[in-house]
Amino acid sequence: MPAALITGASTGIGREFAYLCAHAGYDVILTARSQPRLEELASDVRQRTGRKAFPIPSDLADPRSARQLYEQVLGLDVAMEVLINNAGFGLVGRFWELDEDEQMQMIQLNMGALTHLTRLFLPDLIARRRGYILNVGSTAAFQPGPLMSVYYATKAYVVSFSEALHNEARDYGVKVTCLCPGPTSTEFDKRSGASGTKLFKGGNVMSPLSVAQLGWDALQAGKPLVVAGGLNALMAFLTRFAPRQLAASMARRMQEQK
């Protein structure tokens, strides 16, 4: 049976993708750092959908983990058809004051692991002339982000990389989509320190299910990019026409604590 691999699967948008993939007829391979959460999710997916679910704990902030995960997936003897690169995190604060190691881990997770997993799995999808890759970016990708400078930069990479890959892979039957959520009700804001910012206190916070569904629908339709939410899409569009430093100033105001 065809299978889908979801990174960052234990909570939030990734968890919803696990159910969406299973309901669509895929066995699911679930990875995140927390083994207990993965085990619980895998059990629930099996009970609710009747699909197989394989929990594989992995810390993709470790540069060695992507290849290790790839080899573990090969050992399952499944037909990999869907890769959802959802894992990622951010940090709020001045660049020079934030923890050095955490920022390097963020770069590795948000960009390095996503790129490495895509490079490992894509050749097989190309060979079969069928497959789907969804990379989770962010509305942060469309402007500089003072007080979250590294996070915004990593998501700009995800959008650029995904749109280029969409163009390259479409001739071989592989669909690549970048999903760009705005503020979403997940654990991201707590992990990043953004819970008290104007961005998350402004009321325009989407549910993880609605975001995942928009991403899944766009992937099936073969769209290169989808921004979750009408207001978020409008703001992402408008920032392309604003002077870069004006966009940076607006982003900074949203990252400040209320």
DSSP bridge pairs for 176: 133
Selection from 14, 159, 135, 149 nearest residue 90 by Cα: 149
Terminal-residue alpha carbon distance, the chain: 49
Catalytic pick from 26, 152, 155, 175? 155
What is the C-alpha to C-alpha distance for residues 54 and 39, in angstroms, rounded to an integer? 8
- For residue 89, the SS3 value is coil
**Residue 170 is which amino acid?**
R
Q: In sequence order, which residues have a C-beta less than 8 Å from that of residue 32 and are 6 or more positions away?
A: 7, 8, 9, 10, 11, 14, 38, 57, 58, 87
- Name the active-site residue from 19, 132, 151, 152: 151
* DSSP string for 14-66: HHHHHHHHHHTT-EEEEE-S-HHHHHHHHHHHHHHH---EEE----TTSTTHH
Question: Would you say 20 and 98 are in contact if contact means Cβ atoms under 8 Å apart?
Answer: no
155 is an active site residue: yes
If you count DSSP H runs as helices and E runs as strands, how many of each does the chain have, helices first? 11, 7
Tell me whether residue 52 is exposed, middle or buried, using C-beta atoms within 10 angstroms of its C-beta: 0 to 12, 13 to 18, 19 or more.
Answer: middle
**Would you name the residues annotated as active-site residues?**
151, 155
